[in-house]
Chains A and B, each alone.
Chain A
Amino acid sequence: MFFLFINFRFGLEFLTEIVYNSIIYANGVYCMKRYSLKNQIAVNIIETDRFKTGMLSVNLIVPLEKQTAAANTLLLRVLKQGSANYPSLAAINTRLDDLYATGIGTRNYKRGELQILGFSADMLNNTYIPDGTDVLGGAIDMLCELLLRPCLDENGLFPAKTVEREKESQCDAIRALINSKHRYANTRCVEEMCAGERFGLPLAGTVEEVEAITPQALTERYFALLHEARIEIFFIGHTPSAELLPRLENTFGAIPSPSPQKAETEVIRHAKSVREITEIQQVEQGKMVLGFRSGYSVCDADYLDFMTFCELYGSSPTSKLFVNVREKLSLCYYCTAQMDSFKGLMFVESGIAPKNRDRAFAEIMAQLDAVRRGEFTEEELNNAIRSLQSNYRELTDSPSGVEGYYLGRLLFGVDLTIEQMQEGFGHVTAEGVIAAANRVSLDTVYFLRGPEGAPVSEEKEVEDDDE
């Protein structure tokens, strides 16, 4: 797996244009070009007039590590609170409102065992701005402010007050995981299953880790991050690259020397044994999450076989799990299979009445065995393939979807365009799907349920006329 880069001089002297070897064209609509700033920051541009909005993102990519994850997450929160020229949240937001509601979002997620941190801006194209405000220029400037011109105190540190408040917010967010039982159950299953792997680390860290971070440590983390991270910029919108690139060079070109981070993710191909974990909370509905090792990584040549298997088994409304566990046995409202392509995992999630746990488990496994034996029709296989092809075609309607796809592929060295993906599914065979079903192995069974016997719904309405 490698990239073929064709280098040639771009019109502007300091810029190198790298044409991504496979030009992306979704129905011939657009293509992505890859450039590099002088400091080697990569800029990926998709020039298109399909949308009334544009999207610009700056992504910092570092290995997911226990020592740094919590601080990286906190850093993002603190940076968002103010910059040198816009020292408060109100100042930032007022500026963004003036830029026709330009939205600035932060992102913090895992791709395999990488932590991806960054800011993104989405904005109206200048053509829809009645008064000539330079919205794109304003958005670039704001991203640059947030990332590169932090608001530091007289000692050159992040202000203690801001740091403390954001630490508290982050701890609140960590504790708030129990608010969503669905998310809680999924997270717990991953934590248990990948306890010895970096993938099992929570991005926000633990409450203890967050509480231990000082303004000094956070400031050091900031400078270290800018130095250690691989930086990838994406732009999708109207603006021609000849206009955009000099602007990016003038701003993000100032980052000293970002490092080219290589993706290292440990993929365990087979589960050793099955672990069962049951937790009790005040819930009406039981949540069962089955964690599987998929046996595949996104880098494998036959990876599409696995994706097709997963779709046929449990991802679509015509899948084995939906049709049998939900429609035939009416055991649940949802029962779906999800995959993590980069870490090689598959999860089957289901919300069920606790008394039906064993029945649902048996049926989920029975359906897997059926696929392993090749008990599916050509129609089911074709449905799965069509559904996946259609998902990838429709991805091109979403700038952030396209960005997410290519960033993930770039980091893992997978040279496959969205269009090639669609074509690839057309070559998946029943044998491939059967092989994939047989490679999947059950690792962890996580079950969250209410206490036995006790009535779960002990809610009291409190009427409180306070005035």
Chain B
Amino acid sequence: MTMNERTTYRSDLLREEYTLIHHKSGLDIYVFPKQLTTTYAVFATKYGSTDNRFRLAGDDKWVDVPDGVAHFLEHKMFANADGIDSFEKFGAIGAYANAYTSHHQTAYLFSCSEKFEEALQELLTYVTHPYFTPESVEKEQGIIAQEIRMGDDNPSSRRYYQLLRALYHGRQIYTQICGTVESIAQITPKTLYDCYRVFYTLSNMVLVICGDVDVDSVLAVADRILPEQKKAEILRDQPEEPRTVVHRKLSCKMEIAQPIFAIGIKDDPFAYAPIDRVRRSNALEILCEMLFNQSSELYNSLYREGLITGGLGFGYDDNPTYAFVGLSGESRDPDAVLKRVKETVKNAKKNGLSRTAFTRCKRVMYAELVREFDSTSDIADLILDAVLCGIKPFEFASILDSVTFEDVEKVLHEVFHPDAYALSVVYPKEEES
């Protein structure tokens, strides 16, 4: 019989530790003890809306599935053969259950403040036992159609997908995570089982638990429920994404009060090894703080001149198959904001960055990282993030510490290329774009 392998990691800086178990089933389990009332567990698979064409190594044909299957599958996982859905089972234990789907991940989670073992048992059981029937699939089509309509009426969601459409050629990236009313109509139980078989193998999944728990109690449940599986190699067919953007600007009109915009700067970090990629990603986030945060010259002048109302959102969105620097806000003149952003970058390239601002913004990033360790769900999300990035969770802190002023200067020149920009705007109905 194969054994479970455990390793414990400690961070003196954060005064925290966790244990990683390579479970004999093929699953990686992270147990992060934390003396809070809420215990949080998340069971995730590296499978999201972008995985539309795939096969297992050894299978001879590619499988193509309609848009929105990963999310549909997530909804349907809660149904069980005994007719009692898992929400109800968690309810009976007093645990709160939920799930979400992103471009590259589907995650099932619960939080509880008692009866942790029972809740964990339910989580591991229902996610490893698919049960799809034609009737239940049909019913779900009605519910998800309303979820899609809700997104259609949401200006921020429209702005986001429109930005992806401007930046990316690959349909997998810009298509809505929920799919469309038409695409989900094609889904059958077989589609769901096909995807399940490929992506819900334990070696493609991870379990993260954070709270007042110990490793042995977790393993007792995992040993009982999880079958030993052979590692399966998953092949994903993703078209090569050109470096250039598709459209410089896309816009649409909705019934809103003032234009809302998002600026994307397309990046290509895919050649970097995981640790270098995270360091680069940290450098970019520090740079964004320096250029765009509320202490920055740009934000303050835009606000003073009334070119933006409220805040200016910014950040680096780094994903396995796409990455961009994003800026978003509300403005009567989004084109003018874009122009100012480009000028700011141009000036920074010409005149250099401020070392004082660098130190200050790195300090901001450090503080934000420490803050994440105050909540069991934030900690679990951070670990999932690390898994997806291919690094060890505490490495986020050491990598951040290693970022130099020169790293930040380098990404400024490397990423903010004039051709990498795209603008997405949602205008009010009555206005001309």
A binds B: yes
Contact bitstring A368-403, B, C-beta under 8 A = 1, else 0: 000000000001001100110110011011100000
Decide if A241 is an interface residue (CB 8 Å cutoff): no
A179-B251 contact in complex given A98-B363, A101-B363, A351-B150, C-beta closer than 8 Å: no
Bound CA span A181–B146, Å: 14
Q: How many chain A residues have a CB neighbour from B under 8 Å? A: 74
Contact bitstring B26-58, A, C-beta under 8 A = 1, else 0: 000000000111100000000000000000000
Q: How far is the CB of B256 from chain A (nearest CB, A)?
A: 5
A90-B300 contact in complex given A172-B258, A333-B144, A333-B150, C-beta closer than 8 Å: yes
Q: In the bound complex, do residue B295 and residue A93 qualify as a contact, i.e. CB atoms below 8 Å apart? A: yes
Which of B107-115, B275-283, B345-353 is the interface stretch?
A: B107-115
Q: How large is the interface on B (under 10, 10 to 19, 20 to 34, 35 or more residues)?
A: 35 or more
A97-B295 contact in complex given A176-B258, A351-B146, A351-B149, C-beta closer than 8 Å: yes
Bound CA span A178–B251, Å: 19
Decide if A89 is an interface residue (CB 8 Å cutoff): yes
Of residues 166 through 210 on chain A, the ones whose CB sits less than 8 Å from some CB of chain B are 168-169, 172-173, 175-182
Decide if B225 is an interface residue (CB 8 Å cutoff): no
| Residue with the highest number of chain B CB atoms closer than 10 Å, among A97, A351, A386 | A97
Decide if A293 is an interface residue (CB 8 Å cutoff): no
Q: In the bound complex, do residue A386 and residue B94 qualify as a contact, i.e. CB atoms below 8 Å apart? A: yes
Which of A15-23, A266-274, A276-284 is the interface stretch?
A: A276-284
Bound CA span A407–B294, Å: 30
Which of A252-260, A295-303, A436-444, A456-464 is the interface stretch?
A: A456-464
Bound CA span A181–B360, Å: 39
Decide if A318 is an interface residue (CB 8 Å cutoff): yes
A394 / chain B contacts, CB cutoff of 8 Å: 37-38, 111, 113
A459-B253 contact in complex given A93-B294, A169-B309, C-beta closer than 8 Å: yes
Q: In the bound complex, do residue B256 and residue A179 qualify as a contact, i.e. CB atoms below 8 Å apart? A: yes
Bound CA span A333–B184, Å: 15
Decide if A289 is an interface residue (CB 8 Å cutoff): no
A393-B146 contact in complex given A176-B258, A463-B247, A467-B248, C-beta closer than 8 Å: no
Of residues 111 through 141 on chain B, the ones whose CB sits less than 8 Å from some CB of chain A are 111-114, 139-141
Q: How far is the CB of B178 from chain A (nearest CB, A)?
A: 10
Decide if B273 is an interface residue (CB 8 Å cutoff): no
Q: 6 more A-B contacts (CB under 8 A) besides A176-B258, A333-B144, A397-B37?
A: A179-B256, A327-B85, A330-B141, A382-B92, A397-B36, A464-B251
Q: Which 8 A-B pairs have the closest CB atoms?
A: A386-B94, A330-B142, A318-B91, A175-B257, A101-B367, A285-B149, A317-B87, A93-B295
Interface residues, chain A, with chain B CB atoms under 8 Å away: 26-27, 29, 50-53, 88-90, 93-94, 96-98, 100-101, 124, 128, 165, 168-169, 172-173, 175-182, 281-285, 316-318, 322-323, 326-327, 330-334, 351-353, 379, 382-383, 386-387, 389-390, 393-394, 396-398, 457, 459-467
